Structure 1
Amino acid sequence: MLNSQFTPTLEVHREEKPLVVFLHGFLGAADDWNTVIERLPNHNKLCIDLPGHGQSQSIQSTSFSGVCRLIHLTILECIETQNLSATVPICLVGYSLGARLSMYFLCEYEGTDNQLVPLTMAGIVIEGGNFGLGSEHARQDRLANDLAWANRFENDDIAEVLGDWYQQPVFSSLNHEQRQDLIAKRSVNLGDKLSHMLMTTSLARQPNLLPKIQQLRFGNGNRPLYIVGERDTKFTALAQDSNLDFKVIAGAGHNVHKEQPKAFASVLLSYLEQMGVNPKEKLE
């Protein structure tokens, strides 16, 4: 099982309330979601540390399916230990790597014969997640790029590697102070564990999930929702071309829930209300 943090709804009969499961991005941890979950007092929340990250640093996996199985087991453990309903509706919320894993979970892993108790999936919110690469050439280029980063994470000073990592175009909306804060926070990670997870979940090893994501419909008729920051031009273009429902958040780059947590939580609450199983809430 992966390390996780459960925060219950403040309402009575919490065992009947839906469960919102949060998956962080590469280099992140469960507590990255704190500023969002504090704005969801009337929902059950589960924030998971992915393999090689946070308090799950010592846990490794060798494939997308393997990581998804660990996520599945962690959700089942939460349902049991918190005495939630066995059929509690679950909404996955994932950022970047967490978004890719959420999509893989629903489109590839969930239909496999994994011999685990099935989950009642009721929604997915994708924040800055890549659907997959369209050609073998693109996958090979990405694999070579990820391998180079993986070698650096394993062998070089992590603060130095992070300094270069956050100079990548996808993080162009960050200012110097924000970059330094991230470097300081992420330097507690272990480079060899990050290296392993980076190669295990490389975009080069991920199938193109967009066709299946486009066809996803949940029991309540809900569709997937894509959230992107207006300053994140690459992923804004992906969202616009995806034929999915999407929301563009003003004043945010790639990491919307970190840069604009109130706006992110507001969009998420609206989506949860549309699931038809969640109570309405009002942001403070």
Structure 2
Amino acid sequence: MTLPRLHTTTIGDGPAHVVFVHGLFGQGKNFTAVAKAVQDLATCTLVDLPNHGRSDWTETIDYPQMAEALARVLEEIGRPACLVGHSMGGKVVMRTALDHPELVDRLMVVDISPAVGLGSSFGPLFEAMQALPLGSLESRRDADRLLSEGIPNDTVRGFLMQNLRHEQGDDGARHWRWQMNLDLLERELERGISDWPESSKVYDGRVLWVAGEKSNYVREDAAPTMRRLFPRYVQVTIKGAGHWVHSEQPEAFIATLRHFLQLE
């Protein structure tokens, strides 16, 4: 299997090592502020998953593939790392820990459960982005106005627009494009992204399962599966946070991560 190349950025030079893995529509740079806040404790690697940011695009997408690509990054680091994964990235780091426990020092899974899909809430975002007339856009303000019809939340819309690029094409002219592989991600939303491939493996290292108080992605009915796969997990709920815990309640999230990194 040919694995996609993952783009990474390194921040800090602390004694531990933390690898941050974003969710659907995200990029490694989404964790820049968090990484800077813990760089005294850890060297931080920010990863762009396949079909996102500056990483390679693929023809299909699933968690075993993404976990193997992430494992190659961990092998290059050369020592076990703390993995922090949000949403889709949380599923990636869970699978990586199960398949390659020797590469993982500890695991922080942020606002996602193993068997919980993303389709119901992310479907409308795909519709709005696909409807954006890239060929006739005049400015980012124009794009923001058009997207607001389908995505009224300013924070979510701003997050998505980080993926909108205005670049020079092969014809010498500048064109608008989505940096992520939007067509593939939409096609695979209900299968490769929402699905959780069953595993009989167990990761017995430290696991912190972080939920947003206002989110419904960490569900009680997923707890038995979490306990079977990750018997040492502990759950923490961040008050006032929705699904994007690290951006909605950054101080609480950073404090939680700092405490987790310092556990012996």
Same fold (TM over 0.5): yes
Q: Which residue number corresponds to residue 30 of structure 1? A: 28
SS in 1 for 2:162: helix
Q: Which residue number corresponds to residue 186 of structure 2? A: 195
Q: Which residue number corresponds to residue 100 of structure 2? A: 110
Bigger fraction of residues in strand = 2
Does structure 1 residue 226 correspond to structure 2 residue 209?
A: yes
In structure 1, how many angstroms separate the alpha carbons of the residues matched to 2:106 and 2:191?
26
Alignment size in residue pairs: 228
In structure 2, how many angstroms separate the alpha carbons of the residues matched to 1:192 and 1:49?
18
Q: Which consecutive residues of structure 1, in runs of 5 or more, have no partner in the other structure?
A: 12-16, 80-85, 112-118, 134-141, 168-175, 277-284
Task: Please show how residues 8-157 of structure 1 align to structure 2 within 5 Å.
Answer: 8-9=12-13, 17-42=15-40, 43-59=42-58, 61-77=60-76, 79=77, 86=78, 88-107=79-98, 109-110=99-100, 119-132=102-115, 152=127, 156-157=131-132
CA gap 1:47/1:151 in 2 versus in 1, 3 angstroms: closer
CA gap 1:32/1:197 in 2 versus in 1, 3 angstroms: farther
Q: Which residue number corresponds to residue 216 of structure 1? A: 203
Structure 1 runs of 4+ aligned residues shifted over 6 Å read 142-146, 148-151, 158-163
Bigger fraction of residues in helix = 1
CA gap 1:162/1:5 in 2 versus in 1, 3 angstroms: farther
Q: Which residue number corresponds to residue 161 of structure 2? A: 184
Query: How much has 1:270 moved relative to structure 2?
Result: 0.8
In structure 1, how many angstroms separate the alpha carbons of the residues matched to 2:190 and 2:36?
33
Please tell me whether the aligned partners of residues 12 and 36 of structure 2 are also in contact (alpha carbons under 8 angstroms).
no
In structure 2, how many angstroms separate the alpha carbons of the residues matched to 1:153 and 1:68?
29
In structure 1, how many angstroms separate the alpha carbons of the residues matched to 2:158 and 2:242?
16
Amino acid at match of 1:123: R
In structure 2, how many angstroms separate the alpha carbons of the residues matched to 1:41 and 1:229?
24
Task: Please show how residues 159-170 of structure 1 align to structure 2 within 5 Å.
Answer: 164=150
Moved more, 247-256 or 176-185: 176-185
In structure 2, how many angstroms separate the alpha carbons of the residues matched to 1:253 and 1:144?
17
Amino acid at match of 1:41: Q
Q: Which residue number corresponds to residue 241 of structure 2? A: 252
SS in 2 for 1:6: strand
Encode CA deviations 1:146-197: one digit per residue, 9 max, x unaligned.
9x77985896438778965x68xxxxxxxx3223323432444342243366
Encode CA deviations 1:248-278: one digit per residue, 9 max, x unaligned.
112211111111112111111111111x2xx
Query: How much has 1:34 moved relative to structure 2?
Result: 0.9
Please tell me whether the aligned partners of residues 3 and 55 of structure 1 are also in contact (alpha carbons under 8 angstroms).
yes
In structure 1, how many angstroms separate the alpha carbons of the residues matched to 2:118 and 2:214?
26
Encode CA deviations 1:29-59: one digit per residue, 9 max, x unaligned.
0000011111112211111000110111535
In structure 2, how many angstroms separate the alpha carbons of the residues matched to 1:59 and 1:233?
30
Amino acid at match of 1:47: L
In structure 1, how many angstroms separate the alpha carbons of the residues matched to 2:191 and 2:148?
19
CA gap 1:203/1:161 in 2 versus in 1, 3 angstroms: farther
In percent, how many aligned pairs have the same letter?
22
Please tell me whether the aligned partners of residues 230 and 236 of structure 1 are also in contact (alpha carbons under 8 angstroms).
no
What TM-score does the superposition give when structure 2 sets the normalisation length? 0.71
